[in-house]
Amino acid sequence: MKRVIQTENAPAALGPYSQAIEANGTIYVSGQVPFIPATMTLVSEEIQAQTKQSLENVKAILESAGYSLNDVVKATVFIKNMDDFAKVNEVYNEYLGNVKPARACVEVARLPKDVKVEIEVVAVK
């Protein structure tokens, strides 16, 4: 059985997908871009601010379904420029440093709305 997760505390989906899907005690959070949920606008051009907002959006979705960042077992970070890797890691470590889930970080040619970072996670209760 699966359950669609939807919260106003994270940006609305930019396409035909759900913010997250929960199935059998696992939640799959779609990639979150650094938009402020209330205005659907980019938080900043600065990579650290974008990383923080993306993680805040992930956190809001997790919490709306009864999960937390401590439940994250896998994260995928998509960044526009691998030169930003260390800056992204600084912020990422603040949110997930104690959890240390499995992770991939990849440089991509382009992200939705030309943001610099997008983050998706999988969490298990």
Alpha helices in 9-123 (DSSP H): 47-64, 85-96
**What span, in angstroms and rounded, lies between the C-alpha atoms of 98 and 105?**
18
Choose the catalytic residue: 105, 113, 117, 125.
105
User: Catalytic: 7?
Assistant: no
Task: Give percent helix, percent strand, percent coil of the chain, each to the nearest 5.
Answer: 30, 35, 35
Q: Strand, helix or coil at 17?
A: coil
Q: Strand, helix or coil at 31?
A: strand
> Which positions are catalytic?
105
